[in-house]
Amino acid sequence: MATEIKVPTLGESVTEATVARWLKKVGDAINVDDALVELETDKVTLEVNAQAAGVLTEIVAEEGANVDVGALLGTIGEGSGAAVAPAAKASPAPAAPAAAAAAPAATAPVMPAAAKIAADNGVDTGAIAGTGKDGRVTKGDVLAAIETPKAAPAPAPAPKAAPAPSGPRAKADLEERVRMTRLRQRIAERLKEAQNTAAMLTTFNEVDMTNVIAMRNQLKDAFEKKHGVKLGFMSFFVKACLVALKELPAVNAEIDGTDLVYKNYYDIGVAVGTPQGLVVPVVRDADKLSFAGVEKTIGELGKKARDGKLSMEDLSGGTFTISNGGVYGSLMSTPILNTPQSGILGMHKTMDRAVVVNGKVEVRPMMYLALSYDHRIIDGREAVTFLVRVKECIENPERILLDV
C-alpha cells in the first residue's frame, strides 16, 4: 500500500513553500523518520520526514516547485530499494530504443546559464544530452551543440542576430542567473515594507566600553565555570535595553491601525546572519532571564539558525530587536526596522579612540550605537533618552543590577 508524502502545516500565516532539495531518489529504501525533502518557506527551511518505511516510488513535486500546505510531494511504496531498482529499470525495456533515449533529454534539467545561451541562439535544449550532474544540461553542452551543427541547419544564423543589441547582457555567458530563495524574497519584502510604511529615523550615540570589558575580563572564567556558557557582551546590551524599554514604553510598542499597542512583556529579537540570509530569532521574556539565561538562549538560537533548524515559534513575535554588525567589522550603520516593531538597536565594532576624559585625552575602547525608530510613535526626545539610558548602563554596569 502506497503512503503519500504531503506538505505539512508550515506555521501561522504560511501557506506555501518551495521544494528546495530532495534528499532521496526514486528507488531509494526509506526508513521511518528518514528526511526525504527540504521545503523552504519565507521564514524557515524544514525537512519532511517519512511516516512509513518502504521505497520512494514517485516524486511528484520537483525541486523548485511551489507547493501549498497539504499538496502531494511524492509516494512511498512497499518493498526495499534493491527490489525496486531492477523493476524501475525493466519498465522502459519494451519501449523502442529511440523513445527511451529521447525521454531523459526532454526532461533533463537545464542550468540557468545554459538556458540563456540556448534561448539567445535558438537551440532546443530538449535535443541535448546533458553531461552535468543528474543529466543536467550545462553551458558547455549548449555551446557544443551550437558549434557541431553550424553548417547544416539554416535557422541557426537567424536567431544569432538577436543578441547583438542586448548591450548590458553582452557577457551573459559569464553570468549565472539564480532564483532568489523564499527567505531572501521575504527579507527583501519586509525591508522594503519597513521603508514604505514607517517614518524611519536613526539617532546615534557612542559608548565607552572600558568598564564592561574590565568586568567581563574579571569574571568570565568564573561565569563560564558556574553556568557552562561564555559571558559575552550581548547579555549586557539586552539587559541595558530592558532598563531603557521599561522607562520608555513607546519603544516597546507598535502601531495597529489607529491604535498604539503598548506591550508589557519583553521578547527581544537578536539578528543573526546565516548562509541563507538574515533571521531574527526571539529571546522570550528576556526580563525574567539572568545574564546566564540570556547568553544560553542566544547561543542556542544562534546554533539553530546556522544549522537551519529554527522553528516558526523561534522567529515569531518580538517586541524590540538588537543587531550586532560589529561582529562583521561594521563601524557605523543605520539598521532597518523589523516591522511591526518600532525600534531596533544597532551595535558596532569596538575600537580604541582618543577621547577627552576629565579634561585629559585618553585612549578608550569606544563603540557607536544607532537606534532606528518609527517617528510616528516615538518622538526624538524619547529616542535620544533611550540611547542615553543604554549608554549609561553599559558605561556603569552596576546600574543594570540596581535598575537605576
203: which DSSP letter?
E
DSSP 103-158: HHHHH--B-HHHHHHHHHHT--GGGS---SGGGPBPHHHHHHHHHTTSSS-STTHH
Instruction: Quote the CA–CA distance of 41 and 73 in Å, as a whole number.
Output: 15
Active-site residue, selected from the candidate residues 134, 221, 379, 403: 379
The SS3 of residue 270 is: strand
Is 227 among the catalytic positions? no
Q: What is the CA radius of gyration of the chain?
A: 28
* Strands 360-374 vs 343-347: parallel, antiparallel or unpaired: antiparallel
Q: 40 is written with which cell numbers?
A: 523552504
Is 379 among the catalytic positions? yes
Helix H or strand E segment including 304: helix 291-306
> Torsion-angle region of residue 202: left (phi > 0), alpha (psi -120 to 50) or beta?
beta
Active-site residue, selected from the candidate residues 33, 68, 375, 403: 375
Q: Phi and psi of 304, rounded to 5°?
A: -65, -35
Q: Which residues contact 398 (CB under 8 A, 6 or more apart)?
A: none
Cis amide bond preceding 281, omega within 30: no
Cα dihedral 141, 147, 153, 158 sign: positive
Own/partner contacts of 140-149, CB < 8 Å, gap of 24 or more, are 141/114, 142/114, 142/117, 142/118, 143/117, 146/117, 146/121
Burial of 286 (0-12, 13-18, 19+ CB in 10 A): buried
161: which DSSP letter?
T
Q: What is the largest CA-CA distance in the chain?
A: 94
Are the C-beta atoms of 346 and 370 separated by less than 8 Å?
Answer: yes
Centroid of chain to Cα 72: 26
- Residues marked active site are found at 375, 379
